[in-house]
């Protein structure tokens, strides 16, 4: 039944694809737009600074915390197997909240509900580390978010945000990333805005950051007011970008300029 509804959903979406959408054969990871040196930084785990967060995340995964006195590993066991593909399926629908939640939120829910520990602040070192560690287990997995009757409205909302002109520059995400990818903005090539490397190490940040941090940078760039971390608008946008990048492989933790 669920399989059927998914299939129907995909057919319906294909029919309503926007004219400016990037055809599957032309989809390219941000990796493909980078210099040889930056690619080398990502490819070599012993040179990729994002692995420092993965290492910290592994330690956090095994640490007992909260009133429940449980570690992530106590419930989920070996992350290499239990977390494989998980990042490729987020945002995913959360029944209790009645909406899709992203990987950071999923980790936070686990932490507050199961471990009974204080929530981790968005973009904190701990949350980034845990997210990086979990996402690392999906490296190489194809993006496959579930679009069905429950998630479809949120996908539509994310798509609308992507195509809505905003900010003082009156630009939509789509105008840069669908219509002008491969061209230059200041000194850099405009990528296609695929979310397949997050959380990732951005040389600009000199650190690891989430997809929502990147969204907020983009919004500042077009002189729009940035949504708060974890805002439903940003989670819906994440869902749309993941769907838009379906089939592409997870690179987390990627490196980007």
Partner 1 sequence: MASVLINVPARAKRGEIIEIKTLISHPMETGYRRTQLGAVIPRDIIRLFVCTYNDTEVFRAELHPAIAANPFIVFSTVATESGTLAFQWTGDNGFSVTESAPIVVEGPDMAPHTPQRSEPSRGTRDGPR
Partner 2 sequence: MTAGGVAAGIGLASMIAVEPARATPVAMQEAIRHVVGSAHVNAGRVTLELPPLSENGNAVPLTVSVESAMTERDHVKAIHVFTEKNPQPDVVTFRVGPRAGRASVATRIRLADTQTVIAIAELSDGSFWSGSATVVVTLAACLEEA
What residue ranges bind partner 2 (CB under 8 A)?
34-38, 40-41, 185-188, 203-206, 213, 216-218, 220-223, 257
Q: Count residues contacting partner 1 (CB under 8 A)?
A: 21
Given 8, 55, 75, 169, the residue binding partner 1 (CB under 8 A): 55
Q: Is 173 a catalytic residue?
A: no
Q: Does 110 bind partner 1 (CB under 8 A)?
A: no
CB 50 within 8 A of CB 123: no
Query: Which of 143, 154, 152, 171 is closest to 247 using CA atoms?
Result: 143
- Tell me whether residue 111 or residue 213 sits nearer to partner 2 (CB atom): 213
- Based on CB atoms, which residue is closest to partner 2, 121 or 203? 203
The distance of closest approach from Cβ of residue 224 to partner 2 in the complex, given in angstroms and rounded to an integer, is: 11
Least distance to partner 2 from the beta carbon of 145, Å?
A: 25
Shortest Cβ distance from residue 256 to partner 2 (Å)? 9
Q: Which is nearer to partner 1, 48 or 172 (CB)?
A: 48
Residue 206 binds partner 1, judged by CB under 8 A = yes
Full DSSP string of 72-121: HHHHH--HHHHTTTTGGG-SEEETTTTEEE-HHHHHHHIIIIIS--PPPP
Return d(Cα 33, Cα 191) in angstroms, integer. 7
- Write the CA distances from 223 to 39, 69, 80, 219, integer angstroms: 30, 45, 41, 6
Cβ neighbours of 179 (radius 10 Å): 12
Residue whose CB is less far from partner 2, 106 or 256: 256
CA distances from 91 to 21, 154, 211 (A): 21, 10, 12
Distance (Å, whole) CA 139 – CA 141: 6
Q: Given 72, 173, 176, 218, which residue is catalytic?
A: 218
- Positions annotated as catalytic residues are 218
Q: What are the residues binding partner 1 (CB under 8 A)?
A: 31, 40, 42-47, 49, 51-53, 55-56, 59, 139-140, 206-207, 249, 251
């Amino acid at each position: 039944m669920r399989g059927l509804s998914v299939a129907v959903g995909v057919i319906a979406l294909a029919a309503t694809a926007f004219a400016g959408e990037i055809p599957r054969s032309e989809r390219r990871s941000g990796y493909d737009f980078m210099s040889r040196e930056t690619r080398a930084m990502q490819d070599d785990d012993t040179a990729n600074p994002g692995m420092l967060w993965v290492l910290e995340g592994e330690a956090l995964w095994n640490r007992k915390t909260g009133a429940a006195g449980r570690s992530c590993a106590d419930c989920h066991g070996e992350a290499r197997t239990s977390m494989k593909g998980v990042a490729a399926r987020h945002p995913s629908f959360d029944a209790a909240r009645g909406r899709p939640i992203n990987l950071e939120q999923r980790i936070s829910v686990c932490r507050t509900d199961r471990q009974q520990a204080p929530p981790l602040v968005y973009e904190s070192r701990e949350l980034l580390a845990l997210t990086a560690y979990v996402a690392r287990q999906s490296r190489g997995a194809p993006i496959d978010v579930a679009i069905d009757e429950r998630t479809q409205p949120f996908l539509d909302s994310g798509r609308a945000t992507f195509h809505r002109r905003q900010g003082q520059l009156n630009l939509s995400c789509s105008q840069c990333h669908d219509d002008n990818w491969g061209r230059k903005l200041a000194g850099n090539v405009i990528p296609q805005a695929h979310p397949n490397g997050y959380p990732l190490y951005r040389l600009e940040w000199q650190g690891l950051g989430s997809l929502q941090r990147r969204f907020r940078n983009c919004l500042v760039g077009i002189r729009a007011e940035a949504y708060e971390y974890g805002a439903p608008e940003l989670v819906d946008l994440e869902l749309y970008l993941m769907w838009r990048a379906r089939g592409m492989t997870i690179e987390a933790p990627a490196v980007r300029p």
